[in-house]
Amino acid sequence: MGAFAYVAPTSVDEVLTVLSEHANLGKRAQVLAGGTDLLVQMRGIDREARTIVDIKKLAETNRLTISDEEVFIGAAIPSAELNENETLVSLLPGLLEAADLIGSTQIQGRATLGGNLCNASPAGDTIPAMIAVGAICQIAGSGGVRELPVEQFCTGVGSNALGPDEFLLGLKIKRPPPGSGSAYLRFTPRTEMDIAVAGCGVAVTLDAGGTCTAARVGIGAVAPRPLLVPAAAEALVGTRLDDAALAAAGEACSAAASPITDKRGTDVYRRKVVGVLCRRAGAIARDRAQAQAKQV
């Protein structure tokens, strides 16, 4: 077994060089952002020596920009810092409330959205919320930057679509148009510091008359990876997001789920709860969209 090494490059090219050199030599390198998962894994389930590549010193991974067209959230920005940005919270309430559910104040001081996504836990709270707002991963690689929708990023429990010589720069999110709202809800036995039994993110856009013109629904902790549920969105679009439409969307989420049974809940329970969460998150997203429409 070799020894650990640590590098903190200051440019995207330097990171890519380190990653591809390791890949070519068959040596292991792992990208570090906030470290709240990585350091725990290094002392527990995955002690293998490797080169830790800290991406916190790059301009690109620290970039937070909000333009008329889109929002960009760098992969290395801690969630506490994101939640201190009022414009961001008002534009993407569902995503930011998901980030605010993860861990303690201490954890949020380090943990990043990019890390939560790359860790690819089926129960990662921000991932269904990212899916709901249609976030696109910006991935740096030797061939340049490629884009991938978040719902295609996680490939299984703890695995993602990154090649050995690629890393996540950040998330690009189309700025929600006026009349939009989003929400994320999860169920946990405790109110704080717990892992989702089921989670659901909903984002909707309403027209001036209150009819839903666009919707996206993401679910978590009820399948090997977080999922986009197109059937749930179809149940919402064209309705006024009344109880019947929300119930239909909830049923679509339950149908899309393929949960396991573990100490946190049975498969039957999780399937039911994810539908309930979809209904409730849908109602919150609707109310936020209506409130936002009034402000504009």
Partner 1 sequence: MSKVHVTTSINGEQVEFLCAPEQSLLEVLREELDKTGTKEGCATGDCGACSVLLDGRLVCSCLVLAVESQGHEVTTIEGIATEEGLHPIQRKFLEHAALQCGICTPGLIVATKSLLEKHPDPDETTIRYWLAGNLCRCTGYDKIIRAVQDVAKELAYPA
AA identity, residue 178: P
Furthest-apart CA pair in the chain: how many Å? 65
Question: Is residue 189 close enough to count as binding partner 1 by CB under 8 A?
Answer: no
- End-to-end distance of the chain based on CA atoms, in angstroms? 60
Show contacts with partner 1 in window 102-141 (CB under 8 A).
103-107, 109-110
228 contacts partner 1 (rule: CB under 8 A): no
CA-closest candidate to residue 49, choices 29, 77, 26? 29
> Is residue 26 close enough to count as binding partner 1 by CB under 8 A?
no
| Residue 184 near residue 199 (C-beta atoms within 8 A) | yes
Q: How far is the CB of 220 from partner 1 (least distance, A)?
A: 21
Torsion, Cα of 117, 12, 6, 165 (10° steps): 70
Residue 10 or 87 having the CB closest to partner 1: 10
Block residue for tokens 């393929």: 258
Interface positions, 67-106, toward partner 1 (CB under 8 A) = 78, 80, 103-106
Question: Among residues 8 and 247, whose Cβ is nearest to partner 1?
Answer: 8
- Please report how close the Cβ of residue 167 comes to partner 1 at its closest, in angstroms: 17
Q: How far is CA 222 from CA 88, 133, 241, 246, in A?
A: 28, 19, 24, 19
Task: Tell me the closest approach of the beta carbon of residue 239 to partner 1, in angstroms.
Answer: 35
- Is residue 22 at the binding interface for partner 1, with CB under 8 A as the rule? no
- Residues near partner 1 (CB under 8 A): 3-6, 8, 32, 34-36, 39-40, 42-44, 49, 52, 54, 56, 78, 80, 103-107, 109-110, 192-193
